[in-house]
Amino acid sequence: MALTPQQGLDPREYFEQGSVSDVWLEVGFGAGEHLAWQAQAHPGVGIIGAEPYVAGMAKLLSRIADTNLRNIRLYTEDVRDVIAAAPDASFGRLFILFPDPWPKTRHHKRRFIQLEMLNELARVMRKGAELRFATDDAAYLAFALERFCAHPAFRWMAESSADWRVRPLDWPQTRYEAKALEAGRQCGYLRYTRL
């Protein structure tokens, strides 16, 4: 269940041989409700989740024990370690759902979505892979849109305003999202394809 990133190792090797045909990565999975749902819905996909917060890890471990999910691997440190160790074109899908918006201007450099990180994400994503990003912070949404749209490796999949205002059916609600909606905040759901 626990993962130790190994430089250059195909992420499928973290799972039982032949058990997964693709691997997805979730950055900061919170309480793990989204990750567990995706693992149940896609048993032939290995899902790696990175979350440094112990409470979130404990909640997901409880879900895994209750459902006997075998296609999940967890990393308890910074996801950048997993990304740095992964070879090129490793992942078929990435999830960055409700990351810390670091709202103060002087802290914007701490936001996960930065040009250097987008370069790394593009490197580890296969051609045609999908990246999903969500936030309830309007300023972070604009910040992320600006960086994604300027990056030559990503194409925004939106064809209408509903495509970023309404969560797709195969994207379950997270606990954090439910709190944001209950508080009256609008959420944005961005989907990008790796060119």
Q: Comparing 54 with 50, which gets the higher pLDDT?
A: 50
Q: Comparing 195 with 57, which gets the higher pLDDT?
A: 195
In a domain, 175, yes or no: yes
In a domain, 5, yes or no: no
Q: Domain range holding 164? A: 11-194
In a domain, 181, yes or no: yes
In a domain, 114, yes or no: yes
Q: Are 3 and 82 in contact (CB under 8 A)?
A: yes
Residue 122 has pLDDT above 80, yes or no: yes
In a domain, 131, yes or no: yes
Report pLDDT digits (tens) over 143-157.
999 999 999 999 999
Q: String of b and e for 107-117 (b: at least 16 CB within 10 Å)?
A: eeeebbbeeeb
Torsion angles phi and psi, residue 109, rounded to 5: -65, -15
Residues recognised as catalytic: 100
> Cα–Cα distances in Å, from 83 out to 63, 74, 118, 145?
25, 13, 11, 22
Mean pLDDT of the chain: 94
In a domain, 169, yes or no: yes
Q: Are 59 and 32 in contact (CB under 8 A)?
A: yes
Torsion angles phi and psi, residue 140, rounded to 5: -70, -35
Q: Give the CATH number of the domain where residue 53 resides.
A: 3.40.50.150
Q: Are 121 and 90 in contact (CB under 8 A)?
A: no
In a domain, 190, yes or no: yes
The rounded percent of the chain whose pLDDT value lies above 90 is 78
In a domain, 38, yes or no: yes
Query: How many independent structural domains does the chain possess?
Result: 1
